């Protein structure tokens, strides 16, 4: 059953019955209602209860006081209402006036085939509404849930351990609420007194132990400037991470352990000194940012000019005998730019035990770097 309240305070009154309400306009609100709640409705309230949403709205707007429309009796009760109580449609109303249709009972008695042939689908829609048979689901307002916990302390906290314990309690409660809604956290916002710190997570999670460890690392790296009197923790929700492992997928470190390790490194060397490799849409060697870390290769900045004579490699920094050589590999690209590149690469193993990359760019020969 659905109930509709027609009053200037419709939304406020409807929320006293149910949190799931549909606001039709400023003075009309609809919600689902139970038989027990019907006994609590005061007779003076302008409300209508029916089996369908549209029937309840139509009755509440046009009947005073409380109106109950039992199933099967909608057409009889609504039949006394005039045609102009329906949603306005001047052309159809003019046609009905010419036919002598004055109220909803007259409209409900018309044959459906003839009505459809003359007034189309809109005419059938109005007839269903007049009969109280126009069914549709409720469209409630879905308020955004805020996942937040806060507390004002009687005594300020000066040590980190009690603060971490309090944050852990918040995380446990908020993670339970996220789990109930099949959600996970994508960011944490911790406010200590008036200072807010944001912790963006590398992947969605609701693992309390993992989140608490990240908070501990953040507090160790940036402790509060003053004793904490007010704590507020807010979580940004998102869809959880779904991972399907393959039988032949190489083993990799767990993301949680990797992020905790990175958190410790940030605490030691500073967050600004911990970067991630960037993959660019180009084949140009060394096209990534200079400050980005490269894996398993150490570049010489600038490259070392080289000379090869009788299996001996000579540069201004080192020299040695070439024991093994692999290559060449041709790479080229960015032909649309004036500084396009075309080069050959070799890997050289010298008698000093090191492996170097030799490059010939046009007529120039140089050593670009060494493998770690």
In a domain, 126, yes or no: yes
Considering the domain architecture, whether residues 44 and 98 belong to the same structural domain is answered as yes
Q: How many domains does the chain have?
A: 3
CB 47 within 8 A of CB 4: yes
pTM: 0.46
Considering the domain architecture, whether residues 127 and 151 belong to the same structural domain is answered as no
CB 29 within 8 A of CB 13: yes
Considering the domain architecture, whether residues 165 and 118 belong to the same structural domain is answered as no
**Cis omega (within 30 of 0) on the bond before 302?**
yes
CATH number of the domain residue 223 falls in: 3.30.1490.100
- Structural domain containing residue 40: 2-131
In a domain, 50, yes or no: yes
- Last residue within a domain, chosen from 238, 263, 281: 238
Q: What is the pLDDT tens value at each position of the chain, 372 positions in all?
A: 898 989 888 888 888 888 888 888 888 999 888 888 877 777 778 888 898 999 999 988 988 888 888 888 888 898 889 988 888 888 888 998 889 988 899 888 889 888 888 888 898 999 899 888 888 888 887 777 888 999 998 888 888 888 999 999 999 999 999 888 888 898 999 999 888 888 888 788 888 998 898 888 888 888 888 888 999 999 999 888 776 666 776 665 666 677 777 777 877 777 777 776 666 777 666 665 544 444 467 788 888 888 888 788 888 888 888 888 887 887 777 767 777 777 788 888 888 878 888 888 777 888 888 886
Question: Largest alpha-carbon pair distance within the chain?
Answer: 113
DSSP structural state of residue 92: H
Closest of 342, 364, 333, 317 to residue 356, by C-alpha? 317
- Last residue within a domain, chosen from 200, 218, 238: 238
Considering the domain architecture, whether residues 59 and 8 belong to the same structural domain is answered as yes
- Last residue within a domain, chosen from 221, 238, 255: 238
Spatial separation of the C-alpha atoms in residues 1 and 51, rounded to whole Å:
5
In a domain, 243, yes or no: no
In a domain, 222, yes or no: yes
CATH number of the domain residue 42 falls in: 1.10.150.20
Considering the domain architecture, whether residues 123 and 89 belong to the same structural domain is answered as yes
Considering the domain architecture, whether residues 123 and 184 belong to the same structural domain is answered as no
Strands 147-157 and 47-50, by their bridges, are unpaired
Spatial separation of the C-alpha atoms in residues 97 and 109, rounded to whole Å:
15
């Amino acid at each position: 059953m659905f109930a509709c309240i027609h009053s200037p305070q419709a939304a406020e009154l409807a929320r006293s019955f149910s949190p799931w309400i549909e606001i039709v306009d400023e003075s009309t609100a609809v919600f689902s209602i139970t038989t027990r709640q019907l006994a609590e409705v005061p007779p003076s309230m302008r409300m209508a209860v029916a089996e369908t949403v549209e029937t309840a709205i139509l009755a509440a707007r046009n009947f005073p006081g409380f109106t109950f429309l039992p199933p099967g009796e909608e057409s009889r009760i609504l039949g006394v209402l005039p045609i102009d109580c329906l949603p306005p449609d001047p052309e159809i109303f003019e046609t009905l006036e010419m036919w002598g249709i004055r109220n909803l009972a007259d409209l409900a008695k018309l044959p459906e085939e003839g009505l459809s042939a003359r007034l189309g689908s809109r005419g059938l829609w109005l007839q269903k509404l007049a009969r109280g048979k126009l069914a549709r689901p409720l469209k409630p307002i879905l308020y955004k849930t805020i996942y937040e916990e806060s507390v004002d302390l009687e005594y300020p906290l000066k040590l980190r351990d009690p603060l971490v314990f309090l944050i852990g309690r918040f995380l446990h409660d908020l993670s339970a609420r996220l789990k109930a809604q099949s959600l996970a956290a994508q960011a944490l916002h911790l406010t200590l007194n008036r200072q807010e710190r944001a912790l963006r997570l590398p992947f969605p999670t609701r693992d309390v132990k993992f989140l608490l460890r990240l908070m501990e690392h953040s507090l160790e790296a940036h402790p509060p400037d003053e004793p904490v009197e007010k704590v507020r923790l807010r979580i940004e929700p998102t869809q959880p991470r779904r991972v399907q492992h393959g039988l032949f997928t190489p083993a990799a470190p767990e993301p949680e352990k990797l992020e905790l390790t990175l958190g410790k490194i940030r605490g030691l060397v500073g967050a600004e000194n911990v970067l991630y490799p960037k993959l660019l849409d180009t084949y140009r060697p060394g096209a990534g940012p200079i400050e980005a870390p490269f894996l398993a290769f150490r570049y010489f900045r600038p490259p070392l000019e080289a000379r090869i004579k009788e299996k001996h490699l000579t540069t201004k920094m080192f020299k040695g005998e070439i024991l093994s050589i692999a290559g060449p590999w041709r790479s080229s690209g960015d032909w649309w730019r004036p500084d396009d590149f075309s080069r050959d690469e070799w890997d050289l193993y010298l008698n000093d035990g090191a492996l170097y990359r030799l490059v010939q760019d046009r007529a120039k020969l140089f050593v670009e770097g060494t493998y770690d």
